[in-house]
Amino acid sequence: MTTQLIDGKKVSLEIKQEIAVAVENIKNNGGKIPHLAAILVGDDGASHTYVGGKVKSCEEVGFRSTLITYESSVSEETLLAKIEEINNDTEIDGLIVQLPLPKHISVEKVTERIRPEKDVDGFHPVNIGRMNKGLPAHISATPNGIMMLLKRYGINTKGKHCVVVGRSNIVGSPMSILMARDSEPGNATVTLCHKNTVDLASYTRQADIIIVAVGIPGLIKADMVKDGAVIIDVGTTRVPDASKKAGYAIKGDVDFEAVAPKCSYITPVPGGVGPMTIASLLLNTLASAKGDVYQTRS
C-alpha cells in the first residue's frame, strides 16, 4: 500500500498565500488591515514558541499584530481588564489568550470575557454553540485546520466511521461534532473515545478515519489500525532526546514508523496538523476584520 503524507506545512503555506492576496486587495481598496492581538502570561517555553509563530505568520500575510505579555503573577482582574480594553478597541479584530494560564486565573472567565466576534481561537460558548448548530462561527483553530486538510486532500468522509480519541473542548469534542455534521467534509459516523473507554483498540480497528488528540506519545500502535485507514495525529509532546540540539523531540500520539505503512493517509508530527492551526487562526481573523464572522463562509 502506498501511504500519502498529509503535508500541513504545504497546505498552510498555500492558505497563507491566499490570505496575503486578500490582504493586498483590502489594502489596495483602502480597507482595514486585519489586526490580531495576543496575550501571553508567564514564561512557558512552548507558549512563547507558539505565540512567536503566530506573530511571525501575521507579518507574512500582511496583518498587523500586537503582543501583550504579563508575568505569571499578574492578577486575574488585571488580565480581564486588558481583555475588556481590547474588546472595545475597534482597531483590533481578533484576540487570543495563550494557554495554559497560571492556576490562579480562571480559563473559563478569560474565555467568556473575550467578545465572540474577536474570539478567533473559537473557544467562546457562543462560537461553540453556533458550531454545534451548524451556523457560521469562529471554529476552533485546530479542528478547523483538520477539516481543511481533509478537504484539500480530497479525503472522502461521507459515510465513513471516524473514531476521535480525546474529548477536550479544544480538539476532541468539536472535532466529533464537525465530522458528524451534514457538510463536506463531514457526514461521518463518529465514535468519541476517551481515557475511560474500555478496550480502545476494539474501536480504532473499526475506524476508516482516526483522529487522536490526547498527548500520549505512541498511544496508537500498528495493531490498533486497519489497513487503508486515514490517521490524523494532533499530539505534540516534548520527549527528552539528547541527540537533538534542543534536547527534546516532538512526538505524536501515533507510533508513526509502525503505523504509517498501513495507512492510506497520515499526518506527520511535526509538520502535519500544527501549521494548520495557525492558518485557521489567520482565516478567522480575516473574517473578523471583514465583518462577516457570522455570515456563510465557504
- Domain 141-274 fold: Rossmann fold (3.40.50)
Residue 48 is predicted with a pLDDT of 86
Binned at pLDDT 50, 70 and 90, residue 295 comes out as: low
Whether 215 shows a pLDDT value over 70: the answer reads: yes
Q: Rounded mean pLDDT of the chain?
A: 95
Residue 1 is predicted with a pLDDT of 72
Binned at pLDDT 50, 70 and 90, residue 256 comes out as: very high
Cell numbers placing 70: 504579563
Average pLDDT value for residue range 109-128: 96
Burial annotation 29-40 (CB, 10 A radius, 16+ → b, else e): eeeeebbbbbbb
Question: Per-domain residue ranges for the chain?
Answer: 28-133, 141-274
Whether 108 shows a pLDDT value over 60: the answer reads: yes
**DSSP structure class, residue 154:** T
Nearest to 251 by CA among 208, 219, 221, 286: 219
Average pLDDT value for residue range 166-188: 96
Find the catalytic residue in 16, 54, 160, 251: 54
The reply to whether 167 sits in an annotated binding site is yes
Q: Is 98 a residue of the active site?
A: yes
Binned at pLDDT 50, 70 and 90, residue 223 comes out as: very high
Binned at pLDDT 50, 70 and 90, residue 292 comes out as: confident
Same fold, 28-133 and 141-274: yes
Q: Which residues on adjacent β-strands are paired with residue 192?
A: 164
Sole residue written with cell 502506498: 2
Find the catalytic residue in 16, 82, 93, 98: 98
88 or 293: which leads in pLDDT: 88
Whether 297 shows a pLDDT value over 70: the answer reads: no
Binned at pLDDT 50, 70 and 90, residue 101 comes out as: very high
Binned at pLDDT 50, 70 and 90, residue 59 comes out as: very high
Residue 298 is predicted with a pLDDT of 41
User: For 87-96, 189-198, 288-297, which range has the lowest pLDDT when averaged over its residues?
Assistant: 288-297
CATH number belonging to the domain at 28-133, selected among 3.40.50.300, 3.40.50.10860, 3.40.190.10, 3.50.50.60: 3.40.50.10860
Whether 239 shows a pLDDT value over 60: the answer reads: yes
The reply to whether 130 sits in an annotated binding site is no
What's the CA gap between 257 and 259, in Å, rounded? 6
Residue 45 is predicted with a pLDDT of 81
The reply to whether 236 sits in an annotated binding site is yes
pTM strictly above 0.75: yes
Q: Is 295 a residue of the active site?
A: no
Specify whether the CB–CB gap between 219 and 193 falls below 8 A: no
Residue 40 is predicted with a pLDDT of 97
pLDDT digits (tens, 9 = 90+) for 224-233: 999 999 999 9
Q: Is 17 a residue of the active site?
A: no
Whether 245 shows a pLDDT value over 90: the answer reads: no
Find the catalytic residue in 93, 119, 121, 208: 121
